[in-house]
């Protein structure tokens, strides 16, 4: 039941957010979201990665390589120049 309530709250929040007209209000929400993402990232970085997750990341990277979803570092460096 908590999940449904959370989803309902998210929808209501997005509806209210979309009705905002002041740039400063949107900026405040962007800053808050950035801070929350940083906190979440820092929390995740403190947890050791499981072997299962590590292997899943390797599998995903190999799949990306096989399916042409990789960008060579040289290409990225040229874009920066």
pTM above 0.95, yes or no: no
**Per-residue confidence (pLDDT) for residue 32, from 0 to 100:** 96
**Per-residue confidence (pLDDT) for residue 69, from 0 to 100:** 92
Q: Is the pLDDT of residue 81 over 90?
A: no
State the burial class of residue 70 (Cβ atoms within 10 Å of its Cβ: 0-12, 13-18, 19+): exposed
**How much of the chain, in percent, has pLDDT values that exceed 70?**
98
Q: Is the pLDDT of residue 16 over 90?
A: yes
Ordered by start, the domain boundaries in the chain are 1-47, 49-81
Q: Is the pLDDT of residue 80 over 80?
A: no
**Per-residue confidence (pLDDT) for residue 2, from 0 to 100:** 66
* Residue environment code for 35-58, b if the CB has 16+ CB neighbours within 10 A, otherwise e: eeeeeeeeeeeeeeeeeeeeeeee
Q: Is the pLDDT of residue 75 over 90?
A: no
Residues 64, 70 contacting (CB under 8 angstroms) = yes
């Amino acid at each position: 039941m908590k999940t449904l309530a959370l989803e309902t709250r998210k929808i209501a929040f997005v509806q209210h957010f979309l009705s905002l007209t002041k740039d400063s209000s949107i900026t405040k929400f962007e800053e808050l979201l950035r801070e929350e993402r940083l906190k979440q990232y820092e929390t995740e970085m403190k947890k050791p990665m499981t072997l299962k997750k590590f292997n899943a990341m390797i599998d995903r990277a190999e799949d990306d390589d096989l399916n042409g979803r990789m960008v060579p570092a040289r290409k990225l460096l040229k874009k920066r120049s």
